[in-house]
């Protein structure tokens, strides 16, 4: 069979496929004679293998060796491991025994990966490490949120997980104590405010000392169990970097000071104008702790996922302004914020990104000093306008009460939730699609993205491109035509690579080495194989190179039947016509449109002559103005920005699929909008609360702002915030 020529008439001229093994229901209706087709395919493969043996073959080792190209110095020809899909794990690690179970093989693969990353890390000099650490210091990351130990190598996996679980346990214990203190003080406060049934010992009229002592001692217990919040909160105030801890710390401390001072004159709580707001301040600590529990649980879940063995692609930004400008030239009027995916083995700065400061901390940094000043000013005004106080002692006591009341009404319960609830919803969604967002630093870094770098292969997942039919047009044998086309397509990274791979049954050793190639933008590929000029592209490419033997346009339309046509020429003569059918994945189409709707331009790297802007726009139903094809002269820079690197610092990672990549980027934009809305609600609640306190003070009726009223006020704005942020992420 190998020596027998395949007659020209035996080559299908309709929509029959040669050499593919796709299931019938994926690409086309079943052929009438599947057994005959299988025999044809087997004979074709055997013929190609015999031909390669006659020509001496090309070993895998020689194929993987770098090819010297004196004229094309910017093309990396180590293409086998990068381009041709790998279907068997054992081919990548032939030294792992095949008789091992799944768990043993996975462990050996994990160990191999760790050694690879660790060896890379050892090559870095001490000076470089120091520069990285200094350069990555983030002033917005507060010490109260930063983990004690960073995840720096896979061997630390168990230690880091124990640290996370320890923090989670400590926060849970704190929450239990705070809930007890908060609920108990709230019950006796509400009972006194609303004249509900109450044990007489806690009645502030009958036993003011007991009432004061109970609130104060439970407030002190709340401070003791939350001492890190109080300590770091005040430290950050003095550092001029106040955060959510600072606002909670100020509230509880002023309330407890007010209670301690009143212990020397307990009878004052019997007066209508004086209140103890300790219960509200404790609930402020409760919601602060709840927010931190959300952060830790999110970190734990992300860490368990990230520590697993899977294909990691870190989301990165193109920081070089000149490169980003060249990539997006002609499609962006704004400063380019270009994002891409980069394959990696290890994601650095996991803990730093997981515990990064967020927009709530930014808000608290600005509002905490103002709230302190306003509450102090209103407290001083109360000494003038409060008519129910008698003597300087009562005026001073009332000053503390007004300050604590103003602080608690301005410190909303939902401050720590405006970021963590949307982030939690986003995490639950993205993990289902193998996407990970570590912390709010991802929003800070990627929410302004207005362009993305993607490869055409990411738009056409495996199975979306197939050959409908082939037409032999010259005297070159069909085996040679297939191998020339497959070698050039696979060598350049064409979306046809998986199709040729299936056609050749994964036998990549059959491919010829490509000496050099170029992509003529919008036309196709031109390369040298075995000292022969090989072209693979559109009709226009062939005409530009004066290729002979092209069929007429009518014949071409008859062969293609509405599909895309590619031509192969060898040594200046047209040799074969490929009828290509490409389908659009529903998920790719959806997220490509989502990017366009959010103002994100997709810059596509391709080497396929049939791919142009009109084709992509029509196929994916996407806005043509939001698409750009990357010129071939920038492919080297593209590779530099997207090539594999062992370690990457990034707050987001995914599995490498375009939908998860786009989903994460769109998610950061939505999170920014949602959290900004939450901050706006918090600011409105704070201003309104301060206004109420000021008016009531000027009227001499601040005593009407009881703890029950402030609890209701904060609860209402809690639900308003949750309702305002109830949007898809």
Alpha-carbon span 509 to 44, nearest angstrom:
16
- Nearest to 596, CA basis, from 475, 452, 392: 452
- pLDDT, one tens digit per residue, over 349-385 is 999 999 999 999 999 999 999 999 999 999 999 998 9
Alpha-carbon span 445 to 453, nearest angstrom:
16
For 207, the token pair is 């036993």
Alpha-carbon span 165 to 126, nearest angstrom:
32
The band of 203, judged by pLDDT with boundaries at 50, 70 and 90, is confident
Identify whether the C-beta of residue 154 lies closer than 8 Å to the C-beta of residue 117. yes
* Prediction pTM value: 0.79
Which residue is listed with tokens 């990672």? 653
For 354, the token pair is 């997981």
Residue 597's contacts (CB-CB under 8 Å, 6 or more residues apart) are none
H or E element, residue 36? helix 34-54
What backbone phi and psi angles, to 5 degrees, belong to 542? -65, -40
- Nearest to 690, CA basis, from 330, 269, 374, 229: 374
- pLDDT, one tens digit per residue, over 36-83 is 655 666 676 677 666 666 655 443 333 344 444 333 233 333 333 333
The band of 110, judged by pLDDT with boundaries at 50, 70 and 90, is low
- Nearest to 711, CA basis, from 252, 278, 196, 195: 278
Identify which has the larger pLDDT, 302 or 6.
302
**Inter-helix orientation angle 157-194/278-306, to 10°:** 160
Which residue is listed with tokens 């020529």? 5
- pLDDT, one tens digit per residue, over 211-226 is 999 999 999 999 999 9
- pLDDT, one tens digit per residue, over 649-704 is 999 999 999 999 999 999 999 999 999 999 999 999 999 999 999 999 999 889 89
- Give the pLDDT confidence score for residue 476 in this predicted structure: 85
Residue 61's contacts (CB-CB under 8 Å, 6 or more residues apart) are none
Identify whether the C-beta of residue 297 lies closer than 8 Å to the C-beta of residue 443. no
Residue 226's contacts (CB-CB under 8 Å, 6 or more residues apart) are 174, 178, 248, 252, 285, 288, 289
The DSSP line for 399-410 is: HHHHHHHHHHHH
Q: Residue 525: beta bridge partners?
A: 519, 536
CA contacts within 13 A on the Cβ side of 583:
13
Q: How far, CA to CA in Å, does 219 sit from each of 184, 202, 235, 459, 613? A: 11, 16, 20, 58, 66
- Which ranges of 473-517 would DSSP assign to H, the alpha helix? 478-492, 497-503
């Amino acid at each position: 069979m190998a020596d027998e020529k395949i007659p020209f008439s035996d080559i299908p001229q309709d929509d029959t496929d040669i050499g593919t093994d796709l299931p019938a229901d994926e690409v086309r209706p079943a052929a009438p004679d599947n057994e005959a087709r299988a025999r044809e395919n087997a004979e074709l493969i055997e013929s190609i293998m015999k031909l390669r043996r006659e020509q001496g073959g090309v070993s895998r080792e020689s194929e993987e060796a770098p090819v010297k190209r004196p004229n094309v110095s910017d093309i990396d020809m180590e293409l086998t491991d990068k381009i041709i899909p790998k279907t068997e794990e054992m081919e990548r690690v032939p030294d792992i025994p095949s008789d091992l179970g799944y768990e043993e093989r996975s462990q050996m693969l994990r160990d191999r990966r760790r050694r690879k990353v660790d060896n890379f890390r050892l090559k870095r000099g001490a000076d470089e490490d120091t520069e990285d650490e200094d350069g990555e210091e983030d002033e917005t990351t507060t010490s109260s949120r930063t983990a004690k130990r960073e995840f720096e190598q896979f061997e630390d996996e168990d230690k880091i997980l124990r640290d996370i679980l320890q923090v989670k346990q400590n926060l849970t214990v704190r929450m239990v104590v705070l809930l007890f203190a908060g609920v108990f003080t709230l019950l006796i406060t509400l009972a006194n405010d609303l004249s509900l049934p109450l044990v007489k010992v806690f009645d502030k009229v009958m036993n003011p000392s007991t009432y004061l002592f109970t609130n104060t001692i439970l407030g002190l217990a709340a401070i003791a169990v939350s001492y890190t919040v109080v300590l770091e909160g005040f430290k950050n105030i003095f550092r001029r970097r106040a955060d959510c801890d600072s606002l909670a710390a100020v509230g509880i401390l002023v309330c407890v000071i007010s209670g301690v001072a009143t212990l020397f004159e307990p009878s004052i709580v019997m007066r209508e104008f004086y209140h103890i707001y300790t219960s509200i301040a404790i609930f402020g600590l409760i919601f602060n702790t709840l927010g931190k529990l959300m952060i830790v649980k999110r970190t734990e879940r992300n860490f368990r996922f990230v520590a697993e063995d899977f294909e990691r692609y870190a989301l990165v930004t193109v920081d070089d302004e000149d490169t980003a400008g060249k990539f997006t030239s002609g499609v962006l009027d704004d400063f380019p914020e270009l994002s891409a995916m980069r394959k990696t083995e290890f994601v650095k700065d996991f803990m730093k990104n997981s515990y990064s400061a967020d927009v709530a901390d930014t808000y608290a940094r600005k509002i905490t000093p103002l709230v302190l000043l306003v509450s102090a000013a209103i407290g001083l005004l109360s000494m003038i306008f409060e008519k129910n106080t008698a003597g300087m002692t009562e005026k001073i006591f009332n000053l503390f009460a007004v300050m604590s009341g103003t602080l608690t009404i301005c410190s909303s319960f939902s401050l720590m939730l405006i970021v963590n609830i949307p982030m939690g919803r986003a995490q639950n969604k993205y993990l289902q699609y193998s996407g990970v967002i570590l912390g709010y630093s991802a929003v800070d870094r990627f929410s302004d993205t207005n362009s993305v770098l993607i490869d055409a292969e990411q738009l056409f997942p495996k199975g979306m491109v197939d050959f409908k039919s082939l037409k032999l047009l010259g005297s070159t044998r069909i085996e040679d035509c297939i191998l020339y086309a497959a070698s050039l397509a696979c060598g350049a990274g064409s979306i046809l690579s998986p199709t040729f791979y299936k056609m050749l049954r994964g036998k990549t050793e059959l491919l010829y080495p490509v000496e050099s190639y170029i992509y003529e933008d919008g036309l196709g590929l031109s390369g040298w194989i075995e000292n022969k000029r090989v072209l693979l592209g559109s009709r226009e490419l062939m005409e530009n190179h004066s290729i002979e033997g092209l069929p007429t346009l009518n014949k071409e339309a008859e062969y293609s039947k509405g599909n895309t046509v590619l031509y192969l020429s060898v040594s200046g003569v047209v040799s074969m016509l490929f009828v290509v059918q490409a389908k659009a994945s529903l998920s790719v189409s959806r997220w490509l449109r989502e990017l366009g709707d959010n103002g994100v331009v997709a810059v596509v790297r391709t080497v396929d002559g049939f791919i142009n802007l009109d084709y992509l726009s029509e196929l994916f139903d996407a806005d043509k103005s939001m698409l750009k094809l990357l010129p071939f002269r920038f492919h080297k820079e593209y590779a530099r920005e997207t090539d594999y690197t062992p370690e990457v610092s990034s707050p987001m990672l995914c599995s490498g699929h375009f939908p998860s990549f786009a989903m994460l980027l769109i998610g950061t934009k939505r999170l920014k909008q949602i959290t900004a809305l939450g901050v706006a609600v918090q600011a409105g609640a704070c201003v309104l609360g301060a206004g109420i306190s000021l008016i009531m003070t000027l009227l001499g009726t601040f005593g009407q702002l009881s703890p029950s009223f402030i609890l209701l006020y904060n609860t209402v704005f809690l639900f308003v915030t949750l309702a305002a942020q109830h949007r898809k992420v």
